[in-house]
Chain A
Amino acid sequence: MTTAYHELEKGGFIKQKQKDRYCMRLRTIGGNLSVEQLAGIIELAGKYGQGQVHLTTRQGMEIPGVAFQDYRDISRELKKLDLLPGTCGPRVRAVLACAGPDTCGHALTGVRPLVESLDARFFAREAPNKVKIGVSGCPNSCSKPQENDIGLVGAVEPQFESGRCAGCGLCVEVCPTGALVLAGGRPRIDRERCLNEGDCIAGCPTDAWRAGRVGYHLYLGGKVGRFPAPGRKVASFLTAGEIPEIVEQVLAVYSARARGSERIGDVMARLGSAWDAALKDSEGGGNEWAV
């Protein structure tokens, strides 16, 4: 009973507008479910719900129409299937992710290991308001990380090996930002304009463009809702290993500085440069926060 109450507190069992009906919210790790889990959800949606599921915008599934008194039974059955409860309210929400390198040729980073570590450490942690985290394996940003309070975007730094270059100019043509120009038969890169998506590396016939640093760009303060605003890039080429600690610092500064129910982006907008200073202080100046 204690466990059930604890889970209830996290808010994954959401009151519907219909009297005594609740929506059982489930989360996934980056939108992945096994066929056994899917079959289990089908069964439970028939048994406890109304024979329907709802796909959430954060890659979760909801079983609507569950009676309040069935909460413990359905929870027990979901747990047997290793299905994860969702959350709502002022907490860290399910981490949103793109398909990643298992199936996508564009992904530059592992995605799923990072999503798992962020979920394990931060899911449902209480905060001044909701905190959404999104991860994408490349700047195509299919999972829209910049719309999240904390967004992570896979990135690669192209490195050039002049001796291998045949001067074909393909990289110049495929560069999405015009960061490359051909000068004297060789491409020249403007690092300021580089999007770090790696199209030059992927397309180069002679592998003259190769991967240098690979990691994640960090965006903070993104949100949609009634007043949409994209996140602001605050760090580059962070490794999956160091990101959880950085997220910890972001949450600490957010919790300390938020007034009322401000989102991270609201706090950043109100504090301006003081936000960046507070982040720097929180981690002792060891990381390079400014991009």
Chain B
Amino acid sequence: MGGVIPIPKAFLDITGDVCPLTFVKTKLRLEELAPGDVLEVRLQGPEPLQNVPRSAKEEGHRVLAVKHEGACYHLFIQKGEQS
């Protein structure tokens, strides 16, 4: 982190979703991308913030950066090689 974040290939807004759809949607969107591609995910509230980054890491992706934007967070997730 701290370096330049690659331009996201895709954007996903899950601010209107609740568990378990928050990660399911993230996972499905990541599946459409190629390894190394970056997905920007906009989320809100403690539950997705707790589950989406940890689940992404568990499934072999990298969370490159996290940015605040008002009440929302933007995660920049890079799709892993094996995923």
**B50, B58, B63: which contacts A205 (Cβ < 8 A)?**
B63
Give the segment of B12-20, B24-32, B65-73 that binds chain A: B65-73
- B49 in complex: contacting residue of A105, A174, A206, CB < 8 Å: A174
Check if A166 is an interface residue, CB within 8 A of chain B: yes
The A-contacting residues of B in range 27-83, CB under 8 angstroms, are 46, 49-50, 53-55, 57-58, 62-68, 73
Q: Is B1 an interface residue (CB 8 A)?
A: yes
Please determine whether B65 and A174 come into contact, CB atoms closer than 8 angstroms.
Answer: no
Bound-state Cα–Cα, A33 to B1, Å: 45
Nearest CB of chain A from residue B43's CB, rounded to whole Å: 11
- What is the minimal beta-carbon distance from A164 to any residue of chain B, in angstroms? 9
Given A203-B54, A205-B64, A205-B65, are A166 and B1 also a contact pair (CB < 8 Å)? Answer: yes
Contact A170 B2 (CB under 8 A): no
Cα distance A206–B1 in the bound complex, in angstroms:
7
B interface: dominant SS: mixed
Contact with B along A197-214 (1 / 0, CB 8 A): 001001111100000000
- B62 contacts which chain A residues (CB < 8 A)? 205
A244 is an interface residue with CB less than 8 A from chain B = no
- Count B-side interface residues using an 8 Å CB cutoff: 18
Given A168-B65, A168-B66, A173:B54 Cβ within 8 A: no
Docked CA distance A14–B65 (Å):
59
C-alpha spacing A204/B65, complex, angstroms: 10
A205 in contact with B1 (CB, 8 Å): yes
Tell whether A110 is near chain B: CB-to-CB under 8 Å: no
How many angstroms between the C-alpha atoms of A21 and B58 in the bound complex? 51
Among B1, B2, B66, B68, which residue has the most Cβ atoms of chain A within 10 A?
Answer: B66
Query: Given the interface contacts A166-B65, A168-B65, A170-B66, does A205 sit within 8 Å of B54 by beta carbon?
Result: no
Q: A174-B46, A205-B62, A205-B63 are in contact. List 12 more A-B contacts (CB 8 A).
A: A168-B1, A169-B68, A170-B49, A170-B53, A170-B73, A173-B73, A199-B50, A202-B53, A202-B57, A203-B53, A203-B57, A205-B64
Which B residues lie at the A interface, using CB under 8 A? Answer: 1-2, 46, 49-50, 53-55, 57-58, 62-68, 73
Ordered by A's residue number, 19 sampled pairs between the chains whose C-beta atoms are within 8 Å are A105-B55, A105-B58, A166-B2, A168-B1, A168-B67, A170-B53, A170-B66, A170-B73, A173-B46, A174-B50, A202-B53, A203-B49, A203-B53, A205-B53, A205-B62, A205-B63, A205-B65, A205-B66, A206-B1
